[in-house]
Amino acid sequence: MSRSTLLWSIALAAAAVVIPFYLDASWLQDGLFAMAAAIGAIGLNLLTGATGQLSMGHAFFLAVGAFGYVYFASLPEEGAHSLGGLGLPTPVAAVLAVLLAGVAGGLFSPIAARLKGAYLGIATLALIFIGQFAMSNATPVTGGHNGRPVPPLEVFGFVFADTPDAPLVIAGVPFGALERLWFLGIVLLLGAGLFARGVLRGRPGRAMNTIRDHEIAAGVMGVPVARYRAGVFVLSSMYGGLAGVLIALVFQQTVPDYFGLLLALSYLAMIIIGGLGSVAGAVIGAVFVSMLPRLLTRYSDALPLIVQPGQEGVGAAEAAQILYGLAVVVVVLFLPGGLLGLVNQLRLRINRRVASAPAAKHSLTPTPETRN
């Protein structure tokens, strides 16, 4: 680890710890959604960015994770709309939900292993429609159209929820559900990111990139192509499941309609905008795409062309969608590496200016650092 990376990491970590003490709840909620999106996007980037397998069904696995958690953790409810549930301890439920998403991905692996690229993209489109169908029919699990409430996570007696009768106050700041979840989100994102980085940098990552770049060459060199494709698909679904669990915890209510095609498309937009095939790219893209609508809503009165809610014209949510659609096109046309590539280019340029002439001599041979 170079010194600048170390400094950056320390600065980011400090910012992450300090933020909940200063920002209000709505910003925290946005931040948490961005973290959940980042986890999901990392998973999709392993599949689409690093292995070249297009998936339009990522939202399905988020739904599996979210509803899996709710079902495992809730107690069954009798009544007019009877809801099922297993009432397991919540951490167990969360782990099981992630595993369930993995199993769902595994069930799809006969297709995920044999199809490639855009073919798989359309095949996974089926997952979205099947998911919507299943969610609207399995009302005892999903609660039907209105969804159902999510029980808060509780680890060793520590509840990730508002506790009015025993408030937790740290440094004069009341720690409610969002502040507590913030740290959970950071831990999860960090773990997810480090694991994915390990996968990408190690032997599996090389194999995945080779499959993406040249399938036959990969096979000739002894990479079991089909097994890898299925495996990455399962791994990416588990990331999707984890993102789903986190989203459910933040939302505190899961709604089937949320997990539609639009969500799946926004995840693809994230990894393209951020940068294909890397963890940092997925995180940057996720923050960009999930913060954009909220930023536009917040400053809608100050921005031209965007109207306030309820008026005739382009609303903030629509403007955000159009913007990230355009961003996808612009990034592919002009920034092949995504935003991450842009950052790296700028950094290289600055470094070159600082280091002046002698360093340039060595940059002729590509090193792993300059290539990525």
Handedness of CA 252, 322, 49, 228 (dihedral sign): positive
Rounded to whole angstroms, the maximal C-alpha distance in the chain is: 77
User: Which one among 32, 232, 276, 292 touches another protein, defined by CB under 8 A?
Assistant: 276
User: Which one among 311, 325, 350, 359 touches another protein, defined by CB under 8 A?
Assistant: 325
Sole window of 74-82, 165-173, 245-253, 324-332 interacting with another protein (rule: CB under 8 A) = 324-332
User: Which one among 318, 342, 363, 372 touches another protein, defined by CB under 8 A?
Assistant: 318
Handedness of CA 268, 274, 278, 280 (dihedral sign): negative
Helices (H), the chain: 3-22, 25-44, 58-73, 90-107, 109-112, 117-137, 139-142, 177-201, 203-213, 215-220, 225-251, 261-274, 279-298, 316-334, 338-355, 357-360, 368-371
User: Which one among 9, 82, 137, 253 touches another protein, defined by CB under 8 A?
Assistant: 137
Least Å distance between CB 351 and another protein? 27
Enter the tokens of residue 154: 């509780």
Least Å distance between CB 141 and another protein? 13
Name the residue with tokens 């694991």.
195
The interface with another protein within residues 178-217 (CB under 8 A) comprises: 212, 216
Q: How many CB atoms lie within 10 A of CB 132?
A: 18
d(CA 119, CA 298): 39
Least Å distance between CB 255 and another protein? 17
Name the residue with tokens 């080779």.
210
Least Å distance between CB 163 and another protein? 40
Enter the tokens of residue 42: 């990392």
Name the residue with tokens 């980011």.
12
Compare residues 231 and 275 and give the one whose CB is closer to another protein.
275
Distance between alpha carbon 331 and the CA centroid of its chain, in Å?
19
Compare residues 189 and 284 and give the one whose CB is closer to another protein.
284
Over the window 249 to 268, marking each residue x when it contacts another protein by CB under 8 A and - when it does not, the resulting string is: ------------x---x--x
Sole window of 4-12, 67-75, 112-120, 152-160 interacting with another protein (rule: CB under 8 A) = 112-120
Q: How many CB atoms lie within 10 A of CB 354?
A: 8
Q: Is 335 in the site for another protein (CB under 8 A)?
A: no
d(CA 267, CA 273): 10
- Closest by CA to 41, choosing from 243, 214, 299, is 243
Over the window 64 to 103, marking each residue x when it contacts another protein by CB under 8 A and - when it does not, the resulting string is: ----------------------------------------
Q: Reduce the secondary structure of 130-156 to three states and give it as a string.
A: HHHHHHHHCHHHHCHHHCEECCCCEEC
User: Which one among 75, 187, 329, 359 touches another protein, defined by CB under 8 A?
Assistant: 329
Sole window of 93-101, 296-304, 330-338, 356-364 interacting with another protein (rule: CB under 8 A) = 330-338
The interface with another protein within residues 116-135 (CB under 8 A) comprises: 117-119, 121-123, 125-126, 129-130, 133-134
Compare residues 91 and 313 and give the one whose CB is closer to another protein.
313
Is the CB of residue 256 less than 8 Å from the CB of residue 241? Answer: no
Chain residues binding another protein by CB under 8 A are: 48, 52-54, 110-111, 114-115, 117-119, 121-123, 125-126, 129-130, 133-134, 136-137, 212, 216, 220, 261, 265, 268-269, 272, 276, 314-315, 318, 321-322, 324-329, 332-333, 336
